[in-house]
């Protein structure tokens, strides 16, 4: 094991920081187990981080921080079954390339591919889908180091309760050292992106959901403008965006120009409605097809803070109308579009879509802008309809609330009491959401 000197850690958005007492980079499951045992002997808490893309303090390591960079091996690829086992710290972008080389792919994923596989999984990272669910539904087995330093595996057949709890486990049940993914044959997606007016999107959202494998849309606050995205499987050959068009849309308009806009609205918040009107028009219609992960994900270089709530799918349209009404009442000036995604129900106990078809509503602000009033206003609305906060995105919920919206929350806490009675894997965030 190669210890590195104590250093400050901060997350991608820069809103979470800590200087852990120790930092280590384990290079094998055995080294993780040894680190956990040593930490226990010294009375230290332990946490492995991913790439710090959570906006919450989920990855804060107060005592021993285990960096994931030494745990990136690919253990096995079985193209016949689609089962692929990789170590916890492998970044998603490397796994996506690896899968593609073997003619395989994840069935669905979120907007970016920078996270580690374990970090993304532990907060139930998701994209949008009619049939294909989030990452926690694409796992066949996990290998974990528990608080007593033992190494266990779990799957639907082996310790099924641990499997259902630990897939979206917030790092609270153990250090995940390897994940076996259930992959599918690689596929191309045809992306149809089109601007559309708010009224039309709300009137047709059920139709779009039923007719498309992956439907999502963005609403540009203070305007009537939305950008809809429909992704569906298509036979080849791929027709990717030209390098220039890809750069213009994904790099320049979505990141460089958008970054400049946010620097402006940071100084002149009143300009947000005007520039949102321009943004809604600038991101026009386009159609292309490409390898699935290249369509699902895109670069995000403008730093922001985010809150996202999962609500029952049938509540989506009324919730959006209420959200828009809030914009009429409050003095908010918001330059970031609001993202709406859909997901089938999931079965990992703490997946935000556990047991119900869900709609996700995500709100963002530029990383230097204040978020408190806006996020709180949206959060009040979302919690009034049983919303569940994304574990990796900012929220103020505690255990008393969370147990009312997660049917298996008590079972999760009981399992945690059994496996980690001394709270080896605790941090301020787990104390907030689990209450101990
Ligand atoms: C630009 C951006 C875009 C995003 N897009 C999406 C999206 O489209 N959909 C979505 O759902 N989310 C999205 N997110 C949120 C992000 O996917 C999650 O916050 C995810 O958890 C981050 O992964 P990470 O590797 O950075 O993990 P971290 O944030 O570093 O850690 C997340 C949690 O996992 C734990 N953890 C990490 N590794 C291990 C391990 N080996 N064993 C046990 N616990 C571990 C950490 O301790 C922490 O509790 C986005 C975030 C950003 C910044």
**Mean pLDDT, rounded, for 41-65:** 98
113 in contact with ligand 1, CB cutoff 6 A: no
Counting from 1 in the atom list of ligand 1, the atom nearest the Cα of 171 is 44
* Among candidate residues 149, 115, 174, the one with its CA nearest the CA of residue 163: 174
pLDDT of residue 5: 57
**C-alpha of residue 288 to centroid of ligand 1, in Å:** 29
Q: Is 126 in the pocket of ligand 1 (CB under 6 A)?
A: yes
pLDDT tens readout for residues 257-270: 777 777 777 777 78
231 C-beta closer than 6 A to ligand 1: no
Q: pLDDT-based confidence at 6, cuts 50/70/90?
A: low
Mutate to test the pocket of ligand 1, among 29, 119, 302 (most ligand atoms within 8 A of CB): 119
Mean pLDDT of 312-338: 95
User: Which residue in 15, 13, 51 sits closest to 302, CA to CA?
Assistant: 13
Separation CA 77–CA 249 (nearest Å): 35
Which atom of ligand 1 lies nearest, measured to the CA of 124?
A: 11
Q: Which of 54, 70, 152, 175 to mutate to test the pocket of ligand 1 (most atoms within 8 A of CB)?
A: 54
Ligand 1 contacts CB of residue 59 (under 6 A): yes
Residue from 35, 61, 125, 434 to probe ligand 1 pocket by mutation (most atoms less than 8 Å from CB): 125
Averaged over 140-145, what is the pLDDT?
98
Question: pLDDT at residue 304 above 80?
Answer: yes
Q: Are 52 and 9 in contact (CB under 8 A)?
A: yes
CATH class of 203-389: alpha beta
Ordered by start, the domain boundaries in the chain are 203-389
Residue 214 phi/psi, 5-degree rounding, is -140, 105
Biggest CA–CA distance in the chain, Å, is 61
| Ligand 1: nearest atom to the Cα of 111 | 8
**Ligand 1: residue whose CA is nearest its atom 46:** 59
Closest to 139 measured CA to CA, from 111, 159, 117: 117
What is the average pLDDT across 355-377? 96
Residue 185 clears pLDDT 90, i.e. is over it: yes
Angle (CA) 130-171-140 rounded to 5° is 50
In the predicted model, what is the mean pLDDT of residues 131-135? Answer: 98
Nearest-10 Cα torsion for 240, 245, 249, 252: 130
pLDDT tens, position by position, 237-255: 999 887 766 766 776 667 6
What does the pLDDT read at residue 296? 97
Instruction: Compute φ and ψ for 116, nearest 5 degrees.
Output: -75, 160
pLDDT of residue 4: 52
173 CB near ligand 1 (under 6 Å): no
Lateral strand order in the sheet of 74-78: 74-78, 83-87, 175-182, 139-145, 151-154
The mean predicted confidence, pLDDT, of the chain is 94
Which of left, alpha, beta for 171 (phi over 0: left; psi -120 to 50: alpha)?
left
Q: What is the pLDDT of residues 209-219, one digit of tens each?
A: 999 999 999 99
> Percentage of the chain surpassing pLDDT 70?
96
pLDDT for the residue numbered 44: 98
pLDDT of residue 250: 72
pLDDT score at 100: 98
Q: Is 119 in the pocket of ligand 1 (CB under 6 A)?
A: yes
Atom of ligand 1 nearest to the CA of 91: 25
Specify the pLDDT at position 172. 98
- Structure tokens, 128: 């949008």
CA of 351 to the centre of ligand 1 (A): 13
Does position 256 have pLDDT exceeding 60, yes or no? yes
The CA 391 to ligand 1 mean position distance, Å, reads 9
pLDDT of residue 2: 46
Closest residue by Cα to atom 50, ligand 1, is 53
Q: Is the CB of 171 under 6 A from ligand 1?
A: yes
> Is the beta carbon of 26 within 6 A of some atom in ligand 1?
no
Percentage, residues of the chain above pLDDT 90: 85
Q: How many CB atoms lie within 10 A of CB 355?
A: 13
Token representation of residue 345: 């129900």
Q: Is the pLDDT at 53 greater than 90, yes or no?
A: yes
The string of pLDDT tens digits covering residues 375-432 is: 999 999 999 999 999 999 999 999 999 999 999 999 999 999 999 999 999 999 999 9
Our mutation pick for probing the ligand 1 site, out of 61, 122, 170, 434, counting the most ligand atoms within 8 A of Cβ, is 122
Mean pLDDT lowest among 200-204, 267-271, 280-284: 280-284
pLDDT at 167: 98
pLDDT value for 242: 74
pLDDT at 222 > cutoff 50: yes
Strand partners, 175: 145
Atom of ligand 1 at shortest range from CA of 176: 42
- Of 179, 42, 174, nearest to 120 by C-alpha is 179
């Amino acid at each position: 094991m190669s210890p590195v000197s104590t250093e400050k850690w901060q997350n991608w958005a820069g809103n979470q920081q800590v200087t852990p007492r120790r930092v280590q980079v384990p290079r094998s499951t055995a080294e993780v187990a040894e680190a956990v045992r040593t930490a226990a002997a010294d009375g230290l808490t332990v946490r492995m981080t991913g790439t710090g893309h959570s906006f919450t303090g989920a990855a804060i390591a107060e005592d021993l921080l285990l960096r994931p960079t030494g745990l990136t091996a690919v253990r096995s690829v079985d193209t016949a079954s689609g089962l692929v086992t990789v170590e916890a710290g492998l970044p998603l972008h490397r796994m996506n390339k690896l899968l593609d080389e073997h003619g395989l792919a994840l069935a669905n994923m979120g907007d970016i591919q920078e996270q580690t596989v374990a970090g993304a999984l532990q907060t139930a990272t998701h994209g949008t889908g009619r049939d294909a669910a989030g990452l926690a539904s694409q796992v066949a087995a996990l290998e974990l180091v528990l608080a007593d330093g033992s190494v266990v595996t779990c799957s639907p057949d082996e310790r099924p309760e641990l499997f259902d709890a630990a897939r979206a486990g917030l790092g609270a049940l153990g250090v995940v050292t390897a994940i076996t993914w259930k992959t599918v044959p690689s596929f191309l997606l045809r992306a149809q992106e089109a601007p559309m007016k708010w009224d039309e999107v709300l009137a047709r959202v059920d139709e779009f959901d039923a007719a498309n494998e992956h439907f999502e849309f963005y609403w540009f606050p203070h305007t009537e403008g939305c950008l809809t995205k429909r992704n569906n499987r298509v036979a080849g050959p791929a027709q990717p965006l030209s390098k220039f068009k890809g750069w213009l849309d994904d790099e320049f308009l979505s990141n460089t120009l958008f970054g400049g806009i946010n620097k402006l609205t940071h100084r002149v918040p009143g300009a947000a409605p005007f520039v949102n009107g321009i943004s809604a028009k600038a991101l026009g219609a386009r159609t292309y097809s490409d390898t699935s992960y290249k369509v699902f994900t895109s670069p995000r270089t403008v730093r922001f803070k985010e809150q996202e709530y999962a609500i029952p799918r049938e509540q989506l349209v009324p919730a959006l109308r209420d959200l828009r009404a809030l914009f009429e009442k409050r003095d908010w000036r918001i330059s970031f579009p609001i993202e709406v995604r859909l997901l089938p129900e999931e079965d990992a106990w703490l997946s935000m879509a556990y047991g119900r078809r869900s709609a996700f509503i995500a709100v963002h602000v530029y990383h230097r802008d204040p978020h408190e009033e806006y996020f709180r206003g949206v959060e009040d609305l979302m919690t009034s309809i049983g919303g569940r906060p994304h574990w990796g995105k900012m929220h103020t919920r505690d255990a008393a609330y969370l147990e009312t919206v997660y049917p298996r929350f008590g079972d999760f806490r009981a399992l945690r009491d059994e496996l980690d009675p001394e709270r080896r894997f605790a941090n301020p965030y787990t104390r907030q959401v689990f209450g101990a």
